[in-house]
Chain A
Amino acid sequence: MTVSVPAPWEFRLHRSVTIGQFVVLIYAVVSDLILEGGAPDGNSLLAMALGTIYVLGTAAIPESWYRLRFGAEAITLIGAFLTITAITLTGGPSSPYILLSMGPPILATIYGGLRTGLMTGFLSVALLILVTISQDDSDATISAALPAIGLYVAFVLLVTVIRRLLEDAHRQAGELAEATESATQKLENLVEIHGVLIRLSEDISAGRLNAVEVAADTLEAILARIPGSSGRLVLEDEEGPVVLASRGVPPQDPHPYQVPLSTADASVGSLELLTPQSLSRPDLIDIEAFVQPVSIAFANLQLLQSIVGSAVAEERIRLAREMHDDIGPSLASLGLALDMAAMQQAEHAELSADLKVLRTNVTKLVEDVRASVADLRTAPGPTLTARLLQSTSGLDGTPQVVVDLEERRPPRPAVIADLTSIITEATRNAHNHSGGSQILVSGRIDRSFGICSVIDDGTGFDPTYEPDGHFGLTGMRERADKIGAKISFQPTPGGGTTVTVEWGNR
């Protein structure tokens, strides 16, 4: 781990040494004054000044200077010269300033480690010996210097041990902080995964147990983690890949990623992402961890849907048979009875009119039953989103086509093919003629109703003008009429055209 600011332990040790040096300086000055009988000579005054400069200097120099290359060595070397000079001026080994010479080796050890500390210590001792030799005989000097050498080495070793202990503690604290940060991140991921699972659980409780719902919730949760991204969630079905959800507008210069959705023994599908910035490996690992429970949910859902699908299919057939064999013909019979009554009561105009109104309602009921029987007997097909992704897949290049629909359930079989044709035609027109950069197909879809808009940012056009064989607007309107849908052409705010098709009633 890189540390860019002074570690707390270095600051504390330095402060302790500084306080110690002040105490030693005061002791030395006072002792020297006593020895000099209260009238210090020039050497004593100079020694006081040098000692003071050293102590104040080590206290005032910013710690960052110690961290410069050879900074600690230079500062402590100067300190050693100052203290040894003060000692030399005040009696050599017997100088009251002798303890002050411990400061530089200790500071060197704090900031430079054992080697720097020992080097500074030995330098101080060497200087001390040289000073002593210059003042006295060599034998006495060496013997007098030995305690000082021992004292320096002992101090340096002691500080080194303390330094290592504090370094270890600091490193462990750093590792602990990293572990805490990692654990916090994992916890946040778990909370988000838990959120998705809660939503899945709510879907199940609300009876919205379908892959489209699960995919939409999952995709929205993932894209919320990567702002500016778009994505698709693709499920591997027996009949091939099926796009269950598509959200967001692709960023410019996107970075594509594909995250597999798989369980221990099967591949379920994949998550396709287009992100504005590249994702780091940890980011991708996070996303994989995020989709893991969803993969299992998908696998279970597929299994469950297979089981439920069989049961539902049987129930649909039973219901269709009951409606076809019993309810429908009974209603039709009632209609014939009303026709007979109306004919027999032709003389009573008011009664006859009422009977005809009743008859009209019964006819509508029979037609509704008939349509329901047809729906029930039609196996559920691909979603409108999947159909549109398929039908617009050939529209490459600019403008880019983005399909982003909230489809809770596919529209009824009776209308889905015509809806697909209308929306595809509108998208193809926008792609070929709008001159824009992007086409967004968005809306909200459910079984019996929905609204879908094809929005382009092009130059706009006049929907009342259609050159021969162009645009297919007439065909779109005819299809809309056929399924009872409304189609409108409006200018898009800011330029372009919005084609909206709306059908059914809530």
Chain B
Amino acid sequence: MIRVMIADDHQLFAEGLSQALNILPDTRVVGVVESGPALEEALMSQPAEVSIVDIEMPGGDGIDTISELGRRTNSIVVSMHASDEQKERAQKAGARGFFSKGVPLATLAAAIRAVADGQDLISLDDTARDELLEHYGQARLDPGAASLTEREKEILQLLAVGVSATDELAERLYISQKTVKNHLASIFQKLAVSDRTQAAIEAIRLGIARPS
């Protein structure tokens, strides 16, 4: 799971981006802030592998903030100022990617996966960048989620449709209640959740289960 922080003072865009990234199975937005200083502060308490940063924000230039952040996060500039001059500045400041705000979600998601994986998109020419983004086009599930067994996925599907009682789950699956509890413990560990509701939500988010 890639944790993403968004720094953009345009509320509608920031929230829209947050929602869009949260429906992807391998990205989770851990914070949305409206300024460069707020981003620095947020990253102190909530680490994020990738930060989406606008250039013009209250309290300072986003590119200056990227320079301050150093290696604490992998920054991608997403701005209405997608000029060559700004791109050069961003690259010097240490940004790993540079996109216009018109960038499609799939492209941005691939870019997030790439920079989280240590790639430096901003230094590539357009052709090389597009090839690399194509490579990162598909979601990559966490090892935990990827290791779910078929039975565990069946339990998650039942949780997603509202079947959460142990006895009911046991009855539906023709297994003992103890076995159900064992499966749930394994699911909680693999998905890094602590209860059945969280497990159901995560399963839906990951596309493993459907709510209806």
Q: Give chain A's interface residues, CB within 8 Å of chain B.
A: 323-326, 328-337, 339-340, 343-344, 359, 362-367, 369-370, 373-374
Contact = CB atoms under 8 A, between A and B. Distances in A.
Contacts of A333: 10, 12-13, 15-17
Contacts of A366: 100-102
Contacts of B16: 332-334, 336-337
B20 interface: yes
B82 interface: yes
Interface string B54-98: 001000000000000000000000001111000000000000000
A329 B100 CA distance: 10
Contact of B100 (A337, A343, A370): A370
B80 A373 contact: yes
Given A324-B56, A325-B10, A370-B80, A332 B20 contact: no
Interface size class of B (residues with CB under 8 A): 20 to 34
Interface string B17-39: 10110010000000000000000
B193 interface: no
A367 B19 CA distance: 22
Contacts of B143: none
A151 to B, nearest CB: 108
A340 B56 CA distance: 26
Given A324-B80, A369-B80, A340 B105 contact: yes
A374 B10 contact: no
B148 interface: no
B20 A330 contact: no
Dominant secondary structure of chain A at its interface with chain B: helix
Given A340-B23, A343-B105, A374-B83, 13 more contacts: A329-B12, A329-B80, A329-B101, A331-B102, A332-B13, A332-B101, A333-B13, A333-B15, A336-B13, A362-B102, A363-B104, A367-B102, A370-B100
| Nearest 10 Cβ contacts at the A-B interface | A366-B102, A339-B105, A332-B101, A333-B16, A329-B10, A329-B13, A333-B13, A328-B80, A336-B20, A363-B102
Contacts of B17: 333, 336
B106 interface: yes
7 contacts: A329-B10, A331-B102, A335-B104, A370-B80, A370-B101, A370-B102, A373-B81
Nearest to A369: B80
B212 to A, nearest CB: 13
Nearest to B104: A339
Contacts of B80: 323-324, 328-329, 332, 369-370, 373
A371 to B, nearest CB: 10
A197 to B, nearest CB: 44
A340 B10 contact: no
Given A325-B10, A329-B12, A333-B13, A340 B19 contact: yes
B23 A343 contact: yes
A364 to B, nearest CB: 8
B59 to A, nearest CB: 15
A362 B102 CA distance: 8
Nearest to B109: A339
Contacts of A343: 23, 105
A326 B17 CA distance: 15
Given A324-B56, A340-B19, A330 B100 contact: no
Given A330-B13, A374-B83, A339 B106 contact: yes
A344 B102 contact: no
Interface in B97-137: 100-106
Most-contacted residue by chain B among A325, A343, A362 (CB, 10 A): A343
A54 B118 CA distance: 129
B58 to A, nearest CB: 11
